[in-house]
Amino acid sequence: MKFPKDAPKQKVIKTLESLGFTIVRIGTHISMIRENPEGTKIPLTMPNHDTIKGSTLRVICRQSGIKRNDFLEKYQKV
C-alpha cells in the first residue's frame, strides 16, 4: 500500500492520535508526542498545512518509528 498523495491534515492528526500521539503545540508546525510504557517519549513534527504530502508522511512515520502498514490501516479506519 502507498501513502495517500495529499492527505487532509485533520485525518492525519486523528490517525496519529489513534496511534498514541497527542498534540503538544500548534504553530507553523504541529508538534506531537507519544509516551511509551517504559517512560520514553517519541516526538513528531509535521507542517501545519491543509494537506500533507505522501513523501512527508513517509518521513514522519520513519522518524517516529511508525510502521507503514500500521499507519495506513489506522488511516483507512479514521
Residues 19-60 have pLDDT tens digits of: 999 999 999 999 999 999 999 999 999 999 999 999 999 999
- 7-77: CATH topology is Metal Transport, Frataxin; Chain A (3.30.920)
Nearest of 42, 15, 45 to residue 29 by alpha carbon: 45
Residue 70 corresponds to which cell in the numbers above?
500500521
Q: 32-56: buried (b, 16+ CB within 10 Å) or exposed (e) per residue? A: bbbeeeeeeeeebebeeeeebeeeb
Domain ranges of the chain: 7-77
Contacts of 75 (CB under 8 A, 6+ apart): 4, 7, 11, 12, 15
Residue for grid cell 498545512: 49
Q: What is the pLDDT of residue 1?
A: 84
> Considering the entire predicted model, what is its pTM?
0.94
pLDDT of residue 23: 98
